[in-house]
Chain A
Amino acid sequence: MVHARVAALAIEALLRLWRARAPDDRLALRLLGLGQPLLVTPALLLLAPQRAGDEFHDRWALLALRHWEEVCVAGVSLLTAGVAVGVAMGLALFLMDLLPLLPGRRRALPASAPAPAALAAALAAAAAAHRVRAPALHFLASRAPALFCAGVRSPVLVVSRGALEMLDDNELRAALAHELGHVDRRDPALSWALMAIRAVLLFNPVAQVVARALARDAEWRADERAGGDHLALASALVKLHRAGLARPAPARRSLPFAAALAEPLRRARSHDVEARCRRLLEPSAPPRLAFRPVRVALATASLAALSFLVA
C-alpha cells in the first residue's frame, strides 16, 4: 500500500513538473504507478529477501512501517489503524464500481431495433475516415440518450434514438469518432483488464484511485483520436451528459470504465466532462513528451529504488 502511494504521488508530481498533458503520456506514466504494487513490490520481496530483516528495517530503510507499531492510541497501534482505514477505503472504492457489474444488478442490453440508414452511413463514414473497422451497431428505440461502445471480443456501438434526436450531424459524427477511438484502442478490453488489476489490489485504495485516473485518460485519448471537430464533440458531450443527468440511460453501461464514473460519482463525472470540454476547446492538442521512453525508464528505476528503501 505504501509503495503504491509513494509511486502514485511521485507520478502525479512528475506529470505536473514534466507538463505531461497528452493522454498517451499520462497513461504510460500512470500505468507505472499501478504496476508498482503489482510487479515491483513482489519482485523486491523475491529478489531482495534481506529487506525483511531487522537490520534493514532499523539501519537502511528510509521508512520502516514497523516503527509505527510503536505508537499506540487506545491500545491500537497507528500502523494497524492506518492499514485498517486503507483497506476499508480500497474495498469501498472497488465495491462502488463492482456492484453495478454484478449479475443481479446488471441490466441486459435491450434488443436491438433496426438502425436508421443515416446512422449506419455515418458510422461507416466515420470508420472509413479513421481507418477503423466499424463495430456492429446496436440501436435502441428508447428516447433516453445512450451512445457508448461495449463488448471485449466483438465490440458493438450502442446508440439510442434519444441520442440521435439530440445530436446534430456534426455532433453525431464527432461522438461516433470518439467511440471508434475506444474501439480502435481496445479500451473495452483494457477496462476489464483494469478491473481485474483492481480486484487483485482490492485492499489498496491508491490502486483504485489510479485505475480511475487511467479511465479518465482513456477518455481523453479517445477525444484526441476523434480529431476533426472538437467543438462538435464538446457540444455532444455536454448534451449527452446533461440529458443523462435528467434521464437515466435505457441500458446500464457494462464497462468498468463507465462504471468508474457511474451514478454515485455524478458530481465527479460532471467535473470530468467539464475538464474534457475545456481540453477540447483548446486551440491545439497538447504536445507529446519528448524522450518518453527514457522518462518512463528513469521514473521506473527511480521508483523501484525508492520502493526498495521502504520496508
Chain B
Amino acid sequence: MTALSQERIRAHAVEAVRTVVALAFVIAAAAAALVAIDAAPAWIAGESRDVRRAQTVHDAERRLRARLVLPAYFPDTLAWPPRRIRFTVGPPGAAALSVDGPDGSPRLLLAETVAPGDIPAALVPDAQVLDRSAVAVGAARGTLSRVVEDGVTVWQVAWELDGRRLLLRSRGTVEELLRMARSARETP
C-alpha cells in the first residue's frame, strides 16, 4: 500500500468519525432541547417535570390507566370538582387532588398511588410532623398525624388499601377526615 493511499484512507476515516460525532452531537442537542421544552410547562407551574396536570378525575384515571380511590363521604365544606389534579406516571403512578372549600380556600389534599410504592414527594407539599398515632381506617391500620403546612396545623391520615398508599390532609376536623378516609373506595 502506498503512502498516498494510506493517507487517503486515514483522511476518510477521520471524516467518517467527524460525520458520526457531529450527527450524534446534533441529535443529542435536539433531544435535550425537546426535553427542556417538554419540561417548561411544569417549571412554569413550579413543579418537577414528572408532575403532570389533568383537567378531570376521569382524565387522570385514563392517563394513569387505573381507577382512583375517592371518599364516598364528601362533606359540604368541600367544593367538588378538585381545583387541581396532578399526577405522575411513575412507577408507581400516583395522583394528588387539591380540593377547596366553597369560599375558594384550600381545604383538602388527597394523594394516592395506583400501585404498590411510596407517594412521590413532588405530589405532597412539605410539612412538619408534630405528632402521630395509629388509627383504624376500615380494616386497615393507618397513621393519624398533626402536621404543619404553610404555617397552618392540619390533620393528616395515611393508610394502605389493597397495596395502594393513600394520604388525606385536611384543614377540617379530625372526625370529618377519618370519616372520609373510612369511606374511601375505588370510583365505580
Contact = CB atoms under 8 A, between A and B. Distances in A.
B141 interface: no
A273 interface: no
Contacts of A68: 40-41
B177 to A, nearest CB: 29
A90 B42 CA distance: 28
Chain A binding surface, main DSSP class:
helix
A14 B22 contact: yes
Interface residues of B, number: 29
A70 B59 CA distance: 13
A113 interface: no
B19 A18 contact: yes
Interface in A9-66: 9-10, 13-14, 17-18, 54-55, 57-59, 61-64
A299 B30 contact: no
A65 to B, nearest CB: 9
Given A54-B62, A71-B44, A14 B52 contact: no
Nearest to A54: B63
Contacts of A298: 19-20, 23
Interface string A56-92: 0111011110011011000000100000000000000
Interface in B39-56: 40-42, 44-45, 52-53
Contact of B29 (A13, A61, A62, A310): A13
Interface string A290-310: 110011001100110110011
B31 interface: yes
B26 A17 contact: yes
What range describes how many residues of A lie at the interface? 20 to 34
A29 B65 CA distance: 42
Contacts, number: 78
B37 interface: yes
B15 interface: yes
A6 interface: yes
B73 interface: no
Given A62-B31, A67-B52, A54 B65 contact: yes
A306 B27 contact: yes
A228 B146 CA distance: 88
A6 B34 CA distance: 9
A259 B19 CA distance: 35
Central interface residue in B29, B38, B40, B63, by most chain A CB within 10 Å = B38
A19 to B, nearest CB: 9
Contacts of B19: 18, 290-291, 294-295, 298
B38 A62 contact: yes
A291 B16 contact: yes
Contacts of B40: 68, 71
B22 A63 contact: no
B35 A302 contact: no
A310 B31 CA distance: 10
A47 to B, nearest CB: 21
A6 B15 contact: no
4 A-B pairs with least C-beta separation: A17-B22, A63-B34, A62-B34, A63-B38
Interface of A: 6, 9-10, 13-14, 17-18, 54-55, 57-59, 61-64, 67-68, 70-71, 78, 290-291, 294-295, 298-299, 302-303, 305-306, 309-310
23 contacts: A9-B30, A13-B26, A17-B22, A17-B26, A55-B89, A57-B63, A58-B63, A59-B89, A61-B38, A63-B34, A68-B41, A70-B52, A70-B53, A71-B40, A71-B41, A78-B41, A290-B19, A298-B23, A302-B27, A303-B27, A306-B27, A309-B34, A310-B34
